Chains A and B, each alone.
Chain A
């Protein structure tokens, strides 16, 4: 497939933008880690950085556009960054050989419990919070003496927000 000059140009532009944004994130992470160690903060630098960036975004100091593609790559390819630590597990080969079966079977049971417990709680709670919202809307509507207007909350695939 022949690529036109302008297509290549826009691709290069995007790549450059991505690189610039990722470097920004790296620099920002490094300075936050320095800040955390300088302050003897109990919080790790990366979580402080997350809070600062969120505040900057909410205050419109940094536009979302300026960090969008960098963030998308860092989050989208998160798995790539933790493959090296996983390979490092070879250092503990003998422990894993000995306890591997116990570990996997017990973790499987635990995962089922967490998944089910959370899903059940949220399922019940979500219905409760929706009812609460509807009641509030109704009260509000009565006060205004206006007809109740409730957005449809059901779709074919189940409950939507």
Chain B
């Protein structure tokens, strides 16, 4: 087959799977239809089964990944819009961000000590709890690999989405702020999406926490890396 055509088909496949699963999820609210789970899985399976060379897959789809940088900048808009909320609870939000960030790093470090994973994998694990655009910027400081990081971030998001409700029930966490901050700090975008399903307030708080945790991770990564290293 013509290589350009194949590359174009890959772009179409990516867009189709993503928007398809998004529409499906909107209609039937089932976890396994969630775009974060179904879309990457469907694309991965197709690429593996049809033995599509990765170079062809990336010829056009890498432009999608290039949109991560503008998306990072776009986070300025929700921060601006919710500035009243930030002013209202500065201590809770900032301590939540710090605790979430430190816990994320500490647990990754523990995993690194307790298991025998190859270093490129365990290094990529360090930034797993922050949003992808920030994680990809920060992972270099720890010696992580962007592709592995992207996958680990995705996995962390899916896990957070799946375990949050039973955990909140068992631990008797009821306040909207606690749920929002915990989801945003531990499961980034997927957590924020889940939080908006629980309630509007939870969603806004989760998105803010996710953004601030991401920024803090990028700012502090060189420092943390030198402490751990």
Contact = CB atoms under 8 A, between A and B. Distances in A.
User: Are both chains from one complex?
Assistant: yes
A137 B34 CA distance: 44
Contact of A83 (B14, B69, B153, B164): B14
Interface of B is mostly: helix
B65 A82 contact: yes
Interface in B93-144: 95-96, 99-100, 103-104, 107-108, 110-111, 114-115, 117-118, 120-121, 125, 128-129, 131-134, 136-137
Interface in A120-135: 120-123, 125-127, 129
Contacts, number: 292
A78 B187 contact: no
A78 B71 contact: yes
Contacts of B177: 122-123, 126, 159, 161
B155 to A, nearest CB: 6
Contacts of A28: 70, 73
A126 B187 contact: no
A81 B64 contact: yes
Interface in B195-222: 199, 201, 215, 218-219, 222
B1 interface: no
A75 B71 contact: yes
A102 interface: yes
A129 B67 CA distance: 38
B18 A83 contact: yes
A42 B141 CA distance: 11
Interface residues of A, number: 77
Given A75-B78, A79-B39, 17 more contacts: A64-B80, A68-B77, A71-B75, A71-B77, A78-B71, A83-B14, A85-B146, A85-B151, A103-B117, A109-B107, A114-B185, A118-B100, A119-B182, A122-B96, A160-B176, A161-B177, A161-B201
23 contacts: A46-B72, A46-B133, A47-B134, A54-B80, A57-B77, A75-B78, A78-B71, A78-B131, A78-B189, A79-B36, A81-B68, A85-B151, A92-B120, A104-B155, A106-B114, A111-B186, A112-B167, A115-B182, A119-B171, A119-B181, A122-B182, A161-B88, A161-B201
Interface of B: 14-15, 17-18, 35-36, 39-40, 43-44, 47-48, 54, 57-58, 61-62, 64-81, 83, 85, 88-89, 91-92, 95-96, 99-100, 103-104, 107-108, 110-111, 114-115, 117-118, 120-121, 125, 128-129, 131-134, 136-137, 145-148, 150-156, 159-160, 163-164, 167-168, 171, 173-179, 181-183, 185-187, 189, 199, 201, 215, 218-219, 222
